[in-house]
Chain A
Amino acid sequence: MKNAGLLAFLGALLTISGCIKPEAENMEADILTMTLPDSVLISPPSLTNTTVTAFVNFSKLNIKAVAPEFTITEGAGIQPASGTPQDFSKPVTYTVTSEDGHWKKDYRVSLLQNVAPDNFMFENWTVNPDGNYYIPYELVEAEHQNIWASGNSGFSLIAPEKRPEAYPTQRTTDAVQGQYAAYLETKSTGALGALVGMPIAPGNLFLGSFDGAKALTAPLEATIFGIPFNKKPLRLTGSYKYISGGPVTDKTGKPVTPARQDLCDIYAVMFRASPEKPFLNGANVLTDPSVVGIAQLASGAATPGTGYGTFNLPFTYKSEVNADDLAAFAYKIVVVFASSRNGAIFEGAVGSKLYIDDVKIVTQ
């Protein structure tokens, strides 16, 4: 009887559940890589979920007819087609359609032919459609350069609120010059953030890109630092205002011992990029052997009064900068602002606020 029952049971299970179905067609629609002839690129392209950005050597190509090649999710299609010449004097929108045909994603592909600026006024802001948060961009000769990044895309996943004003990194009208300044605030990530050992999200803003995929698993590596730079920096100057959120808590949300007040961080790093290590990240930006010079705010304590103060930080060089290599874009620079100095390892104080405006990299 038991055997008969078992057979009946297995029969029923098979009838009801059936077998594993054939694999469904892919629903994803990603650009995985973009390639251009090596001589054209001065730095590997940076890819996010909806953008591809690369600095190119404009003397070596006709920007009105560049034919980048893309690899995309298996089975997906891309329009305009990979390898067809496009006019990149403005960003080109590519549409990737998933294998199953149901999902489409637009990418804004930018080839930047101008060197990044050396002064930053934080006047131009756009809202990222993926997570509904602000990000500043730079305009150089009318070229729209998406060279700033923040951890906002990581916050967008676990944050309870998705208004631009709820994010750690945003803009403010409390500015030293112009209409806007950058505003960074250390935020709580709520119950879900606490669960994954990331109870706070510091406001951060840096030159580079953010690899959202690594935000939860390897957050220090998610901040990809550096943009090509062909001048030797001497000082980093600017205006800032810092209000400390108070005693620092650790990644479990408990106060650290001995107790200390939260500090902000402002620094710039010049490093010699290599094909093996084209960028630095949150784990090695101050310590990697490729670093040649650092300018860093010494204390990071709260600024007195209610107005802005200034910083003027000289670069300290560990090794010589080769002028020929500099001209050939062998070096990169990163400027980093953070509302909690140890925010990258989730130590900080909720409510720490850093205002940044009128930043200049003074070069030789």
Chain B
Amino acid sequence: MIPMKRLHLLILLLAFALDTAAQNGKKVSFTVRAGLSIGAATPVGIPASIRKIESYNPGFQPGIEAGLDYRFSPNFGLATAIRFEQKGMTTDARVKAYYTTFNEAGSDGHQSVTGYFTGRVKTEIKNSYLTLPLHLTYHPKSDFTFKAGGFVSLLLDNRFAGDARDGYIRNQTPTGEREDIDAASYDFSENVRRINAGVEIGADYRINSGLFVSANLNYALTPLMEPGFRSIDFGMHNIYLNLGIGYRFH
């Protein structure tokens, strides 16, 4: 698995950073940070089957991290961290001919109805990840620090579920048997990918020698759902903005 290789590489780099830190104590600093994320798991290009987003609620998505910064030149450095974070949202959308599966629990094909749904779909996503970011940092002669890099996340807790209401489904194909739906639930939690990885950019702003505020924008290059997941016919990617406050130990 490619993500595992990437994870190994990151761990190697982290070990390297720590080793170097031991040798050059002054260039290394530790940080702690807490923040909230706002964002979505969204398709690349909203598919035509989604007609209207009736509501969107980012929910409460906290994250905390312990970081390690290493400055290898006056203006540049590397930063990594161990981050526990939650990524989620709740949306309510009006859909037309939206391909999906209603199931009892999991998406065992034997106990489900698959087809084209027209009506309203509520989606609730709440996934917890243990994340390892790795950033190249740029330190201009100001109170700002800019960061760019990537992250690898390991799924700790997963929820991707919701219901469909006030509509009808066409069994299997758009010309299949029509069935009115008052309310039907689905749960694709078991189909959320264990590994999530992508790119991240961010900036810190120093308030004083210890305190700083930060903003991070991350976009997952790996799809949210497992390969082979077909119960929703478009891929979704995590995109989240994290705003937080941190403290740097020198």
Contacts and interface: CB of A to CB of B under 8 A. Distances in A.
> Do the two chains bind?
yes
Interface of A: 1-2, 4-6, 8-9, 12-13, 16-24, 26-30, 49, 98, 103-105, 130-131, 153-154, 156-158, 160, 190-192, 194-196, 212-218
B100 interface: no
28 contacts: A1-B144, A2-B215, A5-B217, A9-B38, A9-B39, A9-B217, A12-B239, A13-B39, A13-B40, A16-B44, A17-B42, A17-B44, A18-B45, A20-B46, A20-B53, A24-B97, A27-B97, A27-B174, A29-B174, A30-B175, A49-B178, A98-B174, A103-B175, A158-B113, A190-B111, A212-B177, A212-B178, A217-B181
Interface in B213-244: 213, 215, 217, 219, 237, 239, 241, 243
Contacts of A192: 102-104, 111-113
B42 to A, nearest CB: 5
Given A5-B215, A9-B241, A17-B46, A195 B179 contact: no
Interface stretch (B14-22, B65-73, B165-173): B165-173
Nearest to B109: A160
Main secondary structure of the interface of B (DSSP, over half): strand
Nearest to B237: A16
A196 B184 contact: yes
Nearest to A25: B48
Contacts, number: 132
A12 B48 contact: no
A24 B48 contact: yes
B48 A217 contact: no
A20 B54 CA distance: 12
A29 B176 CA distance: 9
Given A27-B97, A157-B171, A192-B103, A13 B42 contact: yes
B219 A12 contact: yes
B177 A157 contact: yes
Nearest to A28: B174
Nearest to A13: B239
Interface string B87-130: 00000000011000011110000111100100000000000000
B211 interface: no
A180 to B, nearest CB: 25
Say which size band chain B's interface belongs to: 35 or more
B48 A213 contact: no
Interface in B144-159: 144
Given A12-B239, A190-B111, A23 B178 contact: no
B111 A21 contact: no
Given A1-B213, A28-B175, A216-B182, 4 more contacts: A5-B203, A5-B243, A17-B43, A21-B46
Contacts of A158: 113
Contacts of A13: 39-40, 42, 239
Given A5-B241, A5-B243, A192-B103, A20 B51 contact: yes
Most chain A CB within 10 A, of B40, B97, B105, is at B97
B47 interface: yes
B112 to A, nearest CB: 7
A74 to B, nearest CB: 12
A130 B171 CA distance: 9
Contacts of A103: 173-175
B113 A131 contact: no
A119 to B, nearest CB: 31
Contact of A216 (B42, B97, B110, B180): B180
B52 interface: yes
A224 to B, nearest CB: 15
Contacts of B177: 49, 130-131, 153, 156-157, 212
Nearest to B182: A217
B234 to A, nearest CB: 11
B180 A214 contact: yes
Interface string B52-63: 110000000000
B82 interface: no
B67 to A, nearest CB: 18
B48 A22 contact: yes
B24 interface: no
Most chain A CB within 10 A, of B112, B179, B181, B182, is at B179
A8 B46 contact: no
Nearest to A49: B177
B40 A27 contact: no
Contact of A104 (B49, B175, B184): B175
Most chain B CB within 10 A, of A4, A5, A24, is at A5
B30 interface: no
Given A9-B241, A103-B174, A160 B42 contact: no
Contacts of B182: 216-217
Contacts of B103: 192
A28 B205 CA distance: 55
Contacts of B64: none
B181 A216 contact: yes
